[in-house]
């Protein structure tokens, strides 16, 4: 190596930065570290790096945003995303941003040295053909899932459009069915409600008659007892009243 190559490692885990420094410093690299995205962008404003490694999950500015801003300022700078949260969405977004690769933790010293060499070989890409670093899958995962994600998104869009078109075509037929059958449905519903009302009235009448008979059955002995006790007094009172009336109507002697 003719000159020191400057490497920037961005990770909120200081151990990762120290690992890169320990491996690459002995190989003649000048390794700088940053604990967050803002610090990394500040350092990129101050000097130029030959390759940037950035974590993806960090407080504040995440790794994808760091990659986006670095690529906007220096498109020729190789940027490799290092993360323990490798997902298809992250890889697809990283590919769109133009990063040179996607590496998953944990990393061994051999992997660190290997991916650094391969990233530097990319140099300054002159066109979109230099889309990813040619690193073996065991060491570095190049984001090749974006086309599948794009195809999945396109298929979803087609299915959604087809569903809306089918609904648009079927809407008049559905409206016609409602217009034809709604009156019958209404009549049926009214009939059902009327039958239920009549049934309830009939039941209530039968229940009222039954309760009346039960009440009479229970009250009959008390009514008979009342008649037995009060009838003599009623008879005496009636006789007294008749006698008084006879005396009142008796003609006076001349």
> Which tokens in the block code for residue 253?
């002697």
Across the chain, mean pLDDT equals: 79
- List the single range of 17-21, 60-64, 69-73, 172-176 with lowest mean pLDDT: 172-176
Q: Which of 82, 81, 142, 131 is nearest to 106 (CA)?
A: 82
Domain boundaries, the chain: 5-144
**CA distance readout (Å), 150 to 26, 56, 164, 173:** 42, 22, 21, 35
Average pLDDT for 199-209: 79
Please, how many CA atoms are within 13 Å of residue 225, restricted to the half-sphere of its CB? 5
Report the alpha-carbon distance of residue 42 to residue 3 in Å, rounded: 24
Q: How many CB atoms lie within 10 A of CB 195?
A: 10
Q: How far apart are CA 5 and CA 14, in angstroms?
A: 21
Share of the chain above pLDDT 70, in %: 82
Total-model pTM: 0.47
CA distance 64 to 99: 9
Please list, in sequence order, all residues whose beta carbon lies within 8 angstroms of the beta carbon of residue 37, skipping any fewer than 6 positions away: 10, 54, 58, 60, 61, 62, 63, 65, 66
Q: Is 228 helix (H, G, I), strand (E, B) or coil?
A: helix
Q: What is the pLDDT of residue 253?
A: 63
∠ CA 174-177-183, nearest 5°, is 135
pLDDT above 50: residue 148 = no
CA–CA dist 130, 132 (Å, integer):
6
Residue 174 has which token pair? 């559905």
Give the angle 125-75-9 at the CA atoms, nearest 5°.
100
Give the tens place of pLDDT for each residue, 213-232: 888 889 888 888 887 898 88
Using an 8 Å Cβ cutoff, are 140 and 94 in contact?
A: no
**Tokens 């690193």 found at:** 135
Highest averaged pLDDT of the listed ranges 74-78, 96-100, 174-178:
74-78
pLDDT-derived band at 40, boundaries 50, 70, 90: very high
- Taking 70 as the threshold, does the pLDDT of residue 254 lie above it? no
How would you list the strands of the sheet with 51-55, edge to edge? 29-34, 5-10, 51-55, 79-83, 101-104
| Separation of alpha carbons 61 and 88, rounded Å | 20
Tell me the per-residue pLDDT of 105-121, one tens digit each, with 9 for 90 and over.
888 899 899 889 888 88
The 8-class DSSP code of residue 141 comes to B
Does position 153 have pLDDT exceeding 90, yes or no?
no
Position 142 pLDDT exceeds 50: no
Fold of 5-144: Rossmann fold (3.40.50)
User: Higher confidence at residue 149 or residue 81?
Assistant: 81
Task: Label residue 133 by pLDDT band (50, 70, 90).
Answer: very low
């Amino acid at each position: 190596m003719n000159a020191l190559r400057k490497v920037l490692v961005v990770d909120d885990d200081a151990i990762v930065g120290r690992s890169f420094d320990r491996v690459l410093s002995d190989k003649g690299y000048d390794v700088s570290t940053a604990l967050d995205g803002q610090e990394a962008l500040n350092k990129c404003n101050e000097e130029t790096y030959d390759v940037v490694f950035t974590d993806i999950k960090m407080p504040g500015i995440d790794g994808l945003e760091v990659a986006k801003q670095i690529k906007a300022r220096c498109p020729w700078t190789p940027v490799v995303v290092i993360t323990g949260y490798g997902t298809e969405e992250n890889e697809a977004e990283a590919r769109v941003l133009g990063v040179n690769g996607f590496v998953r933790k944990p990393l061994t010293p051999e992997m660190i040295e290997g991916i650094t060499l391969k990233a530097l070989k990319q140099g300054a890409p002159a066109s979109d053909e230099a889309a990813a670093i040619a690193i073996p899958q065991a060491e570095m995962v190049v984001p090749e899932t974006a086309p599948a994600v794009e195809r999945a998104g396109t298929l979803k869009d087609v299915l959604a459009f087809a569903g809306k078109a089918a609904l648009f075509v079927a809407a008049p037929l559905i409206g016609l069915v409602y217009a034809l059958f709604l009156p019958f449905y209404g009549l049926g519903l009214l009939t059902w409600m009327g039958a239920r009302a009549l049934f309830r009235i009939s039941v209530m009448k039968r229940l009222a008659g039954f309760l009346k008979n039960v009440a009479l059955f229970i009250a009959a002995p008390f009514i008979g007892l009342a008649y037995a006790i009060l009838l003599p007094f009623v008879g005496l009172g009636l006789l007294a009243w008749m006698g008084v009336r006879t005396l009142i109507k008796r003609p006076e002697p001349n």
